[in-house]
Amino acid sequence: MHFIMPAARTERAHTDRRDWHNLKAMLPFLLDFRGRVLFALACLVAAKVANVGVPVVLKMIVDSLEQRPSQLLILPLSLLLAYGALRLAAALFNELRDTVFARVRYHAIRQVSVRVLEHLHKLSLRYHLERKTGGIARDIERGTSSISTLLNYLVFSIVPIAIEFTLVAMILLHNYAAIFALVTFSTVMVYVIFTVKITEWRMDHRHAMNRLDSQSSNQSIDSLINYETVKYFNNEQLELERYDRTLGEWEDMAVKSQTSMSILNFGQGAIIAIGVTLIMFLATQGVVDGSLSLGDLVMVNAFMLQLFIPLGALGVMYRQLKYTLADMDQLFHLLETPPEITDLPNAPPLKIQHGEIRFEQVDFGYTPERQILQSVSFTVPAGKKLAVVGHSGAGKSTLSRLLYRFYDVTRGRILIDGQDIRSVTQYSLRKAIGIVPQDTVLFNDSIRYNLQYGNPQATQAELERAADMAQIRQFIEALPEGWNTVVGERGLKLSGGEKQRVAIARAILKQPPILIFDEATSSLDSGTEQAIQKTLNEVAGQHTTLMIAHRLSTIVDADQILVMNQGQVVEQGTHSELIKYHGIYQQMWELQLHEKEETSSLSFDQH
């Protein structure tokens, strides 16, 4: 005997609540075509009425033949035509239901898919940095397909069976003694309970089989990948024993699964046999004592068979329904994940007048235990260029993420033209900022598409001008497919320098009032860097610019330079002022000059 522990009961109750919650959450996606849903249900009812009418007409045919003398037998033509018409109507309404409901089902999948993608775009950068992309993709794929599967089961299996039960119950209760309906539906009830309980039990064996199958597969592949290591230590036998031990457990579970399947099939068959036998006994007794006709015997038997044929797949249907609801739960959990960064109610758009940026006593940490910025304050005057330098981990790139409002500051505030960026819409804020990131990621599409991403309405002439300024037009037009060259996943067909130049051209096309260059020339050779630097200076001259740099040679002409160390601004001034200060900046400058001299010397020696 199995006892359900309180924790298991609680978990199952929670799962049941989630299932009902998810079913209710799915309803709004069906309401766009409520007329189609109602018509499909009407077709469903009509199909089942026709289906249930078949045994009734069959009874009338048998009774009409039984009541006539054998020498005067005449085909009951009208009844036979009615029999054929009912079968035809059942098939017609079933197909009509499928056709009408197809639009509802696929539109619901489309809506959910769009809603999920929209919601994923609303979730914070923190969520996307922590996510497992493959897992989310599988959750979305399984979740959307689960909606189709669930609707299939509801509209094409569960609801039709329920309607047929109802119609048969009405006929049996109206025309026959209550014992007929009692035996029929007691049999069905026992059949359903038995199937559900055994299937629940079987699912444990099936899950164990799947787990052990994956484990054995991992072990065999792992031992082959590490072939040399296995040979180094003479551990072939150890690997075989480990693999065989897992397969032995899998074998035991597979046998239990098959045995439980046999128990399920035999039990279902036994319940049906007992129920049909009891009904046939009652009907035959009725024929013998004259209270029922042969037609009644045929009709009751036909009803029983008609009810139990679809129930044959109940075990599979129940198992799939459980899997489907679990997959749907993962999808709705994703949809219910709250965005970390949200707009205030009725937040106004950002109004750019000059483009001044101001950080005021900003504290920030990605986690409470990991403080990144501490009391950071600085101002980038409108139209000026401010550079930020410092060692790795000093918090330089965090400034751009906070300015884009990928995260909210822990303390303090960030202002653009006197407006706290938390009080305006995220859309208007990000529209006002252009960025050339340190790690440029491109779409797996054409160079034209990736460039136009900065301004989808850009003309070819504007594209060419931006490509010229980014020193990449000549490269593009030399390619066999030119502007239509596909750059590969994440831009892998392009070098780091080529991707950065695409990013620079894209930022130029956006034409925002505020620009961020996050180590924008880190992947360029020195010759291209000098040409690009001239372009960046030209572009930056018309914008408020924040430059995050590693190579100090790229920011010597900045209006102001911040030196950051361990999340704090430790030095601030122009290049010449900071050199005279003899602090961290001056040490970094001398170190980079020394590295450059060594590189030049090595290059000269090689030549």
Q: Give pLDDT, residue 8.
A: 47
Looking at the structure, do residues 155 and 211 belong to the same domain, yes or no? no
How many angstroms separate the CA atoms of 570 and 583, rounded? 9
pLDDT at 131 exceeding the cut of 70: no
The dihedrals phi and psi of 140, each to the nearest 5 degrees, come to -65, -45
- pLDDT, one tens digit per residue, over 191-231 is 888 888 887 787 777 778 777 887 888 788 888 888 888 88
pLDDT band at 16 (very low <50, low <70, confident <90, very high): low
Average pLDDT along the chain: 82
CATH at residue 148:
1.20.1560.10
465-492 average pLDDT score: 87
Range list of H helices, 289-431 = 294-311, 314-335, 396-403, 426-431
Q: What are phi and psi of 331, to 5 degrees?
A: -65, -45
β-bridge partners, 416: 357, 419
- Model confidence at 606: pLDDT above 60: no
Does 390 fall in a domain?
A: no
- pLDDT category, 132, cuts 50, 70, 90? low
Per the domain annotation, does 555 fall within a domain?
Answer: no
Neighbours of 337 (CB within 10 A): 14
HEC profile of 582-594: CCHHHHHHHHHHH
pLDDT of residue 312: 66
Look at residue 420 and tell me whether its pLDDT is greater than 90.
yes
User: Do 143 and 185 sit in the same domain of this protein?
Assistant: no
- 165 in the same domain as 36: yes
Residue 37: pLDDT band with limits 50, 70, 90: confident
Q: Which residue has the higher pLDDT, 160 or 533?
A: 160
CA 169 to chain centre: 43
DSSP characters over 91-125 = HHHHHHHHHHHHHHHHHHHHHHHHHHHHHHHHS-H
| Rounded mean pLDDT, 1-6 | 42
Task: Say whether both 263 and 199 belong to one domain.
Answer: yes
Q: What is the per-residue pLDDT across 72-110, written as a single tens digit (0 to 9) for each? A: 455 677 888 888 888 898 889 888 888 888 888 888 888
Strands 560-565 and 385-390: parallel
- Mean pLDDT for the stretch of residues 164-172: 80
Same domain, 30 and 171: yes
DSSP, res 482:
G
In the predicted structure, residue 413 carries a pLDDT above the cut 90:
yes
Here the tokens at position 12 are 């199952």
Q: Residue 377 pLDDT more than 80?
A: yes
Q: What is the largest CA-CA distance in the chain?
A: 127
Q: Please check the confidence at residue 483 and state whether its pLDDT lies above 70.
A: yes
Name the domain boundary from 451, 484, 511.
511
Residue 580 belongs to some domain of the structure: no
- The first and second tokens of residue 368, run together, are 């409470």
Question: 102 lies in a domain?
Answer: yes
Which stretch of DSSP H or E encloses residue 20? helix 6-26
In a domain, 144, yes or no: yes
The CATH number of residue 483's host domain is 3.40.50.300
Q: How far is CA 312 from CA 159, 236, 263, in A?
A: 16, 48, 14
pLDDT tens-place string over residues 270-328: 888 888 888 888 888 888 887 878 888 888 878 877 777 777 666 677 777 777 777 77
| 361: confidence class by pLDDT, cuts 50, 70, 90 | very high
What pLDDT was estimated at residue 3?
40
Q: Say yes or no: 86 and 214 in one domain.
A: no
At 288, which amino acid appears? V
* Closest of 350, 355, 397, 405 to residue 541, by C-alpha: 355
Rounded Cα distance between 87 and 267, Å, is 31
Choosing from 494, 511, 528, the residue where a domain stops is 511
Q: Which residue type is seen at 134?
A: G
Q: Between 137 and 402, where is the model more confident? A: 402
Q: Strands 514-518 and 544-548, how do they pair?
A: parallel
* DSSP-based three-state secondary structure for 247: helix
Q: Would you place residue 71 in the very low, low, confident or very high pLDDT band (cuts 50, 70, 90)? A: very low
**Greater model confidence, 386 or 141:** 386
Does residue 13 carry a pLDDT above 60?
A: no
**Percent of the chain whose pLDDT exceeds 70:** 89
DSSP letter (8 states) at residue 293: -
pLDDT for position 2: 42
Put simply, whether the predicted model's pTM sits higher than 0.75 gets the answer: no
Domain range holding 44?
18-176+320-340
Q: What is the pLDDT of residue 529?
A: 67
DSSP conformation letters of 55-96:
HHHHHHHHHHHHTS-GGG----HHHHHHHHHHHHHHHHHHHH
Q: Could you report how far apart the first and last alpha carbons of the chain are, in Å?
A: 85
Into how many domains does the chain fold? 3
Task: Name the one residue in this structure whose structure tokens are 């299937």.
Answer: 199
158 and 207 assigned to the same domain: no
**Other CB atoms closer than 10 Å to residue 541's CB: what's the count?**
11
Residues 6 or more apart whose Cβ sits within 8 Å of residue 470: 501, 502, 504, 505, 508, 532, 535
Q: Is the CB of residue 318 less than 8 Å from the CB of residue 196?
A: yes
Token pair listed for 199: 């299937």
Cα gap 114→336, rounded to integer Å: 15
Residues 84 and 193 occupy one common structural domain: no
Burial of 424 (0-12, 13-18, 19+ CB in 10 A): buried
Residue 119 resides in a domain: yes
Rounded average pLDDT over 395-423: 92
Residue 44 sits in the same domain as residue 54: yes
Tens of pLDDT, residue by residue over 509-560, are: 888 899 998 877 666 666 666 766 776 777 776 789 898 888 888 888 889 9
| pLDDT number for residue 6 | 47
In the 8-state DSSP scheme, what is residue 349?
Answer: P
- R_g (Cα) of the chain, nearest Å: 37
Higher pLDDT, residue 48 or 5: 48
Whether residue 183 is found in the same domain as residue 170: no
CA torsion sign for 108, 110, 116, 118 is negative
- What is the DSSP secondary structure assignment for residue 490, as one 8-state letter? G
Residue 157, in any domain of the structure: yes
Q: Which of 490, 491, 485 is nearest to 448 (CA)?
A: 485
| pLDDT over 70 at 384, yes or no | yes
pLDDT value of residue 300: 82
Judgement on whether residues 157 and 186 belong to the same structural domain of the protein: no
In a domain, 556, yes or no: no
Please return the burial class of 175, using the count of CB atoms within 10 Å of its CB with bins 0-12, 13-18 and 19+. Answer: middle
Instruction: Assess whether 55 and 162 both reside in one domain.
Output: yes
State both tokens at 563: 């030196």
Last residue of a domain, one of 450, 478, 511: 511
Q: Which of 95, 101, 90 is nearest to 39 (CA)?
A: 101
